[in-house]
Amino acid sequence: MTGKVDIRNSEVGDDDGKQWPQIISVLAVSLGSYTSGMLFVWSSPFTLVIVQDKENYNISEDDASYFIIFHPAGMIFASLFFFKIAELLGRKKAVLFLSVPHILSWLITMFSTTKWEFYLARFVAGMSDTCSFCSIPPYVGEITTPKVRGFWGNIPTFILYGGQLSITVLGSYFGVKTTAYICICVPVLFALLVSFLPESPYQLMRDERYEAAKDSIRWLRRNNNVEEDFVAMKADVERQMSESGRWKDIFTIISNRRALRAGAFLRFSQQMCGIAVFASYTQPVFEKAGGNVSPQVSSMILIGLYWILNLVTSPAIERFGRRLSFFYSLLCCGTVLVLLSIFFLLDQYQTVDLTSTNWFPLVGMLLWAFSYSFGLGVVPTLMLGELFSSSIKSKGLCILIACYGLGVFVSTNMFKFLTASVGLYSSFLIYGICCLCSTVLTLKWVPETKGKTLEEIQQTLKK
């Protein structure tokens, strides 16, 4: 999620001053996304490790399958109250608070020996995702100018995939405890770096600390002449905060209602394409699918492709627009998933000799990863911060995070149930059908936000 604020006149600061302080700030807070990525897919490399290690853990495959369920449960639980914590702490302190659940989750993982301790670690990791989505995107959106935000606003998502790749590699070579000892260093470093960053100038203006806001702008842009930018920001903050921000306004005001519908659809359709299962359950999926390449190598290739394509395809999304990118991504992902479903169906019932095509599961998943990356993987994150105005943003984001957690919960449980009772092909078929059906709703519900200010987006939603 890349939070954006309507800065109608602040473009004047894009060419005045320096960009590197903003870039450094984005990179620093993105370490929080890095840990979130590691925790999100932790169960992929370690489910098999824990199940097979009977010397240190007496955990069955069925017990370990719940690792990917407790994570979204923690997200949904934290979404009920973290919006209030974020409002009370302010932008920077909310980002800094993210290090607490991250460190706690790794500490619990270090000393876990039973399934219940691992479940607790996964639950806390899910809570940290809510903290991450509610704090990092708004902070990044408020400290960067439009020019910087155009490319660097997607860096937290890019680094999140880097975290997923890192834990996949670490999990292939190190044990559970050793990996936790290594990974806990990241949130500690994150907390140290963020403590040196300035508070968001928008937050300081909301707190009526105007001189501190000017100092923040000077630090972020390395420019002493900030009066014009300050006046523009102050006018935008006052206008947006004058709007009603009660819970019922999300449902009673037409622009908020349409924003909520679009955001919930983006997040839920993203999860119903199977990303949560493919990201956090990659190695078990490849083990069930079979093929000529080991599950460990296959998962590293797949996650590595996510990581690279997320950066490579971002300019294309900016060029072609959010809605069309999302539409074609859904269409391509749905087609690939249906083809994979047919392959797994034929393989399960041995109706055709597929020995010579054992490479297809990996190739199919790589095609799916490419299709996912240029729309489904980026557009929801980019758009969620654009849909709501400042007065209602924290509440709106928490609802959408709850939708995200619900989507992860439904898709992972569905995979677990259908794979056990019907076969691997059934899950892929359902995911494919969901993608193809979502293409129609994309054209109906998702607005185009490319190149628009928040005010222009709000006017579009009202019409």
Task: Profile the chain (463 residues) by mean pLDDT over runs of 10 residues.
Answer: 39 57 92 93 85 86 84 89 83 92 96 93 93 85 76 81 88 89 96 93 85 87 79 74 74 86 91 81 62 66 78 75 90 94 87 77 84 84 74 81 86 85 90 94 87 70 77
Q: Is the pTM of this model over 0.85?
A: no
In which residue are the tokens 């403590």 written? 195
Task: Round to whole Å and give the CA distance between 362 and 320.
Answer: 29
Residue 445, class by beta-carbon neighbours within 10 Å (0-12 exposed, 13-18 middle, 19+ buried)? middle
Architecture, CATH, for domain 10-242: Up-down Bundle (1.20)
Task: Round to whole Å and give the CA distance between 124 and 404.
Answer: 16
Dihedral sign (CA 60, 65, 71, 72): negative
- Could you tell me where the DSSP H helices lie in 80-175? 82-89, 91-97, 99-110, 115-143, 146-152, 155-173
Task: Round to whole Å and give the CA distance between 382 and 321.
Answer: 11
Domain extents in the chain: 10-242, 247-463
pLDDT computed for residue 13 by the predictor: 41
CB atoms within 10 A of CB 195: 11
- Asked if residue 101 lies in contact with residue 124, where contact means CB atoms within 8 angstroms, the answer is yes
Dihedral sign (CA 9, 12, 14, 17): negative
- Asked if residue 1 lies in contact with residue 393, where contact means CB atoms within 8 angstroms, the answer is no
Same fold yes or no, 10-242 and 247-463: yes
Residue 53, class by beta-carbon neighbours within 10 Å (0-12 exposed, 13-18 middle, 19+ buried)? middle
| 415: its two tokens | 């995979």
What is the separation, in whole angstroms, between the first and last Cα of the chain? 25
Task: Round to whole Å and give the CA distance between 42 and 50.
Answer: 12
Task: Round to whole Å and give the CA distance between 219 and 45.
Answer: 42
Q: Could you tell me which residues come within 8 angstroms of residue 406 by beta carbon, excluding any fewer than 6 positions away?
A: 72, 76, 268
Dihedral sign (CA 120, 122, 128, 129): negative
In which residue are the tokens 């920001």 written? 233
CB atoms within 10 A of CB 118: 26
Task: Round to whole Å and give the CA distance between 463 and 456.
Answer: 11
CB atoms within 10 A of CB 99: 23
CATH of the domain spanning 247-463, picked from 3.40.190.120, 1.20.1540.10, 1.10.1740.10, 1.20.1250.20: 1.20.1250.20
Task: Round to whole Å and give the CA distance between 175 and 230.
Answer: 51
Long-range residue pairs from 146-152, CB within 8 A, at least 24 positions apart, any chain: 146/7, 146/10, 146/11, 146/14, 147/11, 147/14, 147/15, 147/19, 148/14, 148/19, 148/22, 148/23, 148/26, 149/2, 149/4, 150/318, 151/314, 151/315, 152/22, 152/23, 152/26
